[in-house]
Amino acid sequence: MEMDKMILLPLAWTLWTVSLWTLGSSQTLLQEPLTVIYPKILSSSSIECDCADVLCDSVYWFRSISNNSKMEFIGQGNHADRITFGKGVDKSRFKLISKSKKLFALQIINLTKEDTGTYSCVLKKKNTTWKPGTLLLPGVTCSDVQWSTKDMKITSANNMPSSLTAKCAPVREEVDVSKGSNHW
Protein backbone atom coordinates (compact mmCIF):
# COMPACT_ATOMS: atom_id res chain seq x y z
CA MET A 1 0.00 0.00 0.00
CA GLU A 2 1.31 3.46 -0.83
CA MET A 3 2.22 5.55 2.22
CA ASP A 4 -0.03 8.47 1.25
CA LYS A 5 -3.07 6.16 1.17
CA MET A 6 -1.97 4.55 4.44
CA ILE A 7 -2.01 8.01 6.05
CA LEU A 8 -5.14 9.53 4.47
CA LEU A 9 -7.50 6.56 4.80
CA PRO A 10 -7.12 6.32 8.60
CA LEU A 11 -7.65 10.05 9.01
CA ALA A 12 -10.81 9.90 6.91
CA TRP A 13 -12.17 6.97 8.94
CA THR A 14 -11.34 8.74 12.20
CA LEU A 15 -13.11 11.91 11.07
CA TRP A 16 -16.20 9.99 9.98
CA THR A 17 -16.39 7.78 13.09
CA VAL A 18 -15.98 10.54 15.64
CA SER A 19 -18.35 12.81 13.69
CA LEU A 20 -21.09 10.34 14.45
CA TRP A 21 -20.21 10.37 18.16
CA THR A 22 -20.09 14.14 18.45
CA LEU A 23 -23.07 15.25 16.37
CA GLY A 24 -24.27 18.66 17.45
CA SER A 25 -20.93 19.91 18.78
CA SER A 26 -18.63 22.18 16.82
CA GLN A 27 -15.59 20.49 15.30
CA THR A 28 -12.11 21.65 14.32
CA LEU A 29 -9.55 19.83 12.18
CA LEU A 30 -6.06 21.11 12.93
CA GLN A 31 -3.67 21.46 10.02
CA GLU A 32 -0.48 20.05 11.45
CA PRO A 33 2.17 17.93 9.80
CA LEU A 34 1.93 14.18 10.32
CA THR A 35 4.55 12.86 12.73
CA VAL A 36 6.49 9.72 11.81
CA ILE A 37 8.34 7.75 14.50
CA TYR A 38 10.63 4.72 14.16
CA PRO A 39 10.74 2.76 17.45
CA LYS A 40 12.66 -0.48 17.83
CA ILE A 41 10.83 -3.81 17.99
CA LEU A 42 9.93 -4.79 21.61
CA SER A 43 10.55 -1.20 22.79
CA SER A 44 7.92 1.20 24.12
CA SER A 45 6.74 4.38 22.44
CA SER A 46 4.57 7.30 23.55
CA ILE A 47 2.41 9.38 21.26
CA GLU A 48 1.28 12.73 22.64
CA CYS A 49 -1.93 14.61 21.98
CA ASP A 50 -1.64 18.29 22.90
CA CYS A 51 -4.69 20.44 23.64
CA ALA A 52 -2.66 23.51 22.57
CA ASP A 53 -3.84 26.76 24.16
CA VAL A 54 -6.99 25.49 25.83
CA LEU A 55 -8.00 22.96 28.46
CA CYS A 56 -9.62 19.81 27.13
CA ASP A 57 -11.83 17.29 28.89
CA SER A 58 -11.03 13.95 27.29
CA VAL A 59 -9.25 12.18 24.46
CA TYR A 60 -10.27 9.39 22.06
CA TRP A 61 -7.49 7.26 20.56
CA PHE A 62 -7.76 5.38 17.24
CA ARG A 63 -5.40 3.45 15.04
CA SER A 64 -5.42 2.21 11.49
CA ILE A 65 -3.28 -0.85 10.98
CA SER A 66 -1.52 -0.65 7.63
CA ASN A 67 -1.97 -4.25 6.51
CA ASN A 68 -5.78 -4.34 6.55
CA SER A 69 -7.01 -0.70 6.40
CA LYS A 70 -9.14 -1.30 9.49
CA MET A 71 -9.90 1.54 11.89
CA GLU A 72 -9.72 0.44 15.53
CA PHE A 73 -10.93 2.33 18.61
CA ILE A 74 -8.16 1.99 21.21
CA GLY A 75 -9.81 3.83 24.05
CA GLN A 76 -11.02 7.00 25.70
CA GLY A 77 -9.57 8.72 28.76
CA ASN A 78 -9.97 11.88 30.80
CA HIS A 79 -8.15 13.83 33.52
CA ALA A 80 -9.91 11.86 36.29
CA ASP A 81 -8.21 8.70 34.95
CA ARG A 82 -11.52 7.24 33.82
CA ILE A 83 -10.46 5.02 30.96
CA THR A 84 -12.53 2.91 28.60
CA PHE A 85 -10.75 0.55 26.22
CA GLY A 86 -12.03 -0.63 22.86
CA LYS A 87 -13.06 -4.22 22.33
CA GLY A 88 -10.09 -6.57 22.15
CA VAL A 89 -7.48 -3.94 23.09
CA ASP A 90 -4.64 -5.40 25.19
CA LYS A 91 -4.73 -3.25 28.35
CA SER A 92 -1.30 -4.51 29.41
CA ARG A 93 0.29 -3.02 26.25
CA PHE A 94 -1.75 0.16 25.71
CA LYS A 95 -1.70 2.85 28.40
CA LEU A 96 -3.82 6.02 28.19
CA ILE A 97 -2.19 8.76 30.25
CA SER A 98 -3.28 12.25 31.30
CA LYS A 99 0.02 14.13 31.61
CA SER A 100 -1.50 17.55 32.38
CA LYS A 101 -4.69 19.54 31.80
CA LYS A 102 -3.43 20.21 28.27
CA LEU A 103 -1.64 16.99 27.36
CA PHE A 104 -2.64 13.35 26.90
CA ALA A 105 -0.44 10.45 25.81
CA LEU A 106 -0.84 6.94 24.46
CA GLN A 107 1.95 4.57 25.49
CA ILE A 108 2.43 1.32 23.60
CA ILE A 109 4.59 -1.33 25.27
CA ASN A 110 6.50 -4.19 23.57
CA LEU A 111 6.01 -2.96 20.01
CA THR A 112 5.80 -5.47 17.19
CA LYS A 113 5.57 -5.12 13.39
CA GLU A 114 1.82 -5.69 13.79
CA ASP A 115 1.61 -2.30 15.55
CA THR A 116 2.61 -0.49 12.34
CA GLY A 117 -0.06 2.04 11.43
CA THR A 118 -1.40 5.54 11.94
CA TYR A 119 -2.41 6.49 15.47
CA SER A 120 -4.78 9.44 15.87
CA CYS A 121 -6.35 11.31 18.74
CA VAL A 122 -9.51 13.36 18.96
CA LEU A 123 -9.75 15.88 21.79
CA LYS A 124 -13.09 16.65 23.39
CA LYS A 125 -13.86 19.96 25.05
CA LYS A 126 -16.68 22.39 24.26
CA ASN A 127 -15.94 21.53 20.68
CA THR A 128 -14.08 18.60 19.17
CA THR A 129 -10.51 18.99 17.91
CA TRP A 130 -9.09 16.48 15.44
CA LYS A 131 -5.36 15.87 15.28
CA PRO A 132 -3.71 14.52 12.11
CA GLY A 133 -2.03 11.50 13.68
CA THR A 134 1.28 9.74 14.07
CA LEU A 135 2.59 7.09 11.71
CA LEU A 136 4.27 4.39 13.81
CA LEU A 137 6.80 2.21 11.97
CA PRO A 138 8.24 -0.33 14.46
CA GLY A 139 11.44 -1.96 13.27
CA VAL A 140 11.94 0.56 10.45
CA THR A 141 14.79 3.05 10.54
CA CYS A 142 14.97 6.39 8.78
CA SER A 143 17.61 4.93 6.48
CA ASP A 144 15.01 2.37 5.35
CA VAL A 145 12.73 5.17 4.14
CA GLN A 146 13.11 7.20 0.95
CA TRP A 147 11.67 10.73 0.85
CA SER A 148 10.83 11.94 -2.63
CA THR A 149 10.56 15.70 -3.17
CA LYS A 150 8.44 15.13 -6.27
CA ASP A 151 5.71 13.71 -4.01
CA MET A 152 5.69 16.68 -1.63
CA LYS A 153 2.78 19.06 -1.73
CA ILE A 154 1.90 22.19 0.17
CA THR A 155 -1.36 22.25 2.05
CA SER A 156 -2.55 25.81 2.38
CA ALA A 157 -5.26 27.71 4.16
CA ASN A 158 -6.14 31.21 2.96
CA ASN A 159 -3.34 30.92 0.37
CA MET A 160 -0.74 30.69 3.17
CA PRO A 161 1.41 27.54 3.40
CA SER A 162 0.56 25.67 6.58
CA SER A 163 2.36 22.35 6.32
CA LEU A 164 4.32 20.06 4.07
CA THR A 165 3.13 16.54 3.44
CA ALA A 166 5.65 13.99 2.22
CA LYS A 167 4.98 10.64 0.62
CA CYS A 168 7.21 8.03 2.21
CA ALA A 169 8.07 4.80 0.39
CA PRO A 170 10.01 2.02 2.14
CA VAL A 171 13.19 0.91 0.41
CA ARG A 172 12.47 -2.17 -1.66
CA GLU A 173 14.90 -5.05 -1.49
CA GLU A 174 15.19 -8.39 -3.22
CA VAL A 175 14.35 -10.85 -0.44
CA ASP A 176 15.05 -14.58 -0.39
CA VAL A 177 11.72 -15.87 0.95
CA SER A 178 13.21 -19.29 1.66
CA LYS A 179 15.13 -17.71 4.56
CA GLY A 180 11.90 -16.50 6.17
CA SER A 181 12.77 -12.81 5.97
CA ASN A 182 9.89 -10.49 6.67
CA HIS A 183 10.38 -7.23 4.75
CA TRP A 184 7.83 -4.81 3.31
96 touches 75 (CB < 8 A)? yes
Predicted local distance difference test score (pLDDT) of residue 125: 75
Predicted local distance difference test score (pLDDT) of residue 106: 97
Provide the CATH number for the domain formed by 3-17+27-139 in this structure.
2.60.40.10
8 pLDDT more than 60 = no
168 pLDDT more than 50 = no
Predicted local distance difference test score (pLDDT) of residue 105: 96
Predicted local distance difference test score (pLDDT) of residue 124: 82
The secondary structure of the chain as a DSSP string is --HHHHHHHHHHHHHHHHHHHTTTS-EEE---PPEEE-PPTT--EEEEEE-TTS---EEEEEEEETTTTEEEEEEEEETT--EEEPTT--TTTEEEEEEETTEEEEEE-S--GGG-EEEEEEEESSSEEE---EEE-TT--GGGEEE-GGG-EEEEETTEEEEEE--EEEPP----GGGT----
Residue-wise pLDDT for 114-140, tens only, equals: 999 999 988 887 666 556 678 888 888
Distance CA 25, CA 54 (A): 17
Question: Whole-prediction pTM value?
Answer: 0.61
Distance CA 106, CA 88 (A): 17
- Confidence band (pLDDT; 50, 70, 90) for 62? very high
